[in-house]
Amino acid sequence: MAVAPRAVVVHRRTEYQELVDRHGTPQQADFFLKTRGRSLDEIRDRDQAVRVAFTEVVNQIPRDWRQGRVERGDLGRFRFDPEDVVIAVGQDGLVANVAKYLDGQPVIGVNPEPAINPGVLVPHEARDVGGLLASVLSSEAHFTPRTMVEAETDDGQRLSALNEIYIGHATHQSARYEIALPDGRHELQSSSGILCGTGTGCSGWCRSAWLERRSTLALPEPTGSELVWFVREAWPSPVTGTDLTAGLLTGAESLEIIVRHDHLVMFGDGIEADAIGLSWGQRAVLRLAPRQLMAVAP
């Protein structure tokens, strides 16, 4: 007998839930906000919108499907199976959070707050989930594959991300390393770290670096297959340079970082709690990931 498909609903705790947990009761949370000229009502309304969307999504999962639910903080301990269909209910960043744990599973992004969230990675409404699941099951769904970036260390550790990977000091202070480009050029640098991102990530941190330096680089498109990299705040000194601070990676090209510091970190999509430590002399290679995020298109 064939195994029934499983719909895995991914969600995250709302600001309302976190505030109530921090202060003990809704009344105490409301008092805290009122002392700062704010009200709990807006945050409560947003929490309710997420709850309504979540319930509607769950109700549209066919009864003969298996179900799984996982909160963002537990993703690292959750096992995704090949036949899963992932439904992310929340902000765009939630899709990036789950992407690193997947290997080809379809992802349906649901936006519970379209008036607030851009919806780039969560373009669907909760009411559409039933039809989207049916289209995935019948192989009629349309997908928007999104490039991911991967880093591999010389001791075999790997990290992938949908938006960008950061290598630098944990506190974002000066980090020393040697950077080596695909064309053979290399440079010893001291900077606030390196960003290597995808076209999807070019709407976030990488774009901020691009705008700040008024770069003339053509950023990759959201579904493009190139990577862009930036060195943040490179510092010139008698032994460190500032010539190699930005560029593109295409095809099999890679960017190599050789650590010249006692301890640096490497993490993806802003999740510093899931960082890989890098020690003096260690190497990390940044390149296109061999897998993509398979986002179900509208």
pLDDT digits (tens, 9 = 90+) for 75-130: 989 999 999 999 999 999 999 999 999 999 999 999 999 988 888 999 999 999 99
User: In sequence order, what DSSP letters do the residues of 75-131 get, joined into one string?
Assistant: GGGPPPPTTEEEEEES-HHHHHHHHTT-SS-EEEEE-S-TTTS--SS--B-GGGHHH
| Annotation: CATH topology of 149-291 | Tumour Suppressor Smad4 (2.60.200)
Q: How far apart are CA 293 and CA 22, in angstroms?
A: 34
Q: Please give the structure tokens belonging to residue 136.
A: 């995935």
DSSP state of 15: H
In this prediction, residue 1 carries a pLDDT of 45
**Residues 161, 166, 171, 172: is their CA dihedral positive or negative?**
negative
Report residue 24's pLDDT band, with 50, 70 and 90 as the boundaries: very high
Instruction: Collect contacts of 75-82 with beta carbons under 8 A, ≥24 apart.
Output: 75/10, 75/101, 76/101, 76/274, 78/8, 80/8, 80/105, 81/6
What is the overall mean pLDDT for the chain? 94
**Which of helix, strand or coil describes residue 270?**
coil
pLDDT at 2 over 80: no
Q: Please give the structure tokens belonging to residue 246.
A: 């930005």
Numbered ranges of CATH 2.60.200.30 in the chain:
149-291
pLDDT digits (tens, 9 = 90+) for 125-176: 999 999 999 999 999 999 999 999 999 999 999 999 999 999 999 988 899 9
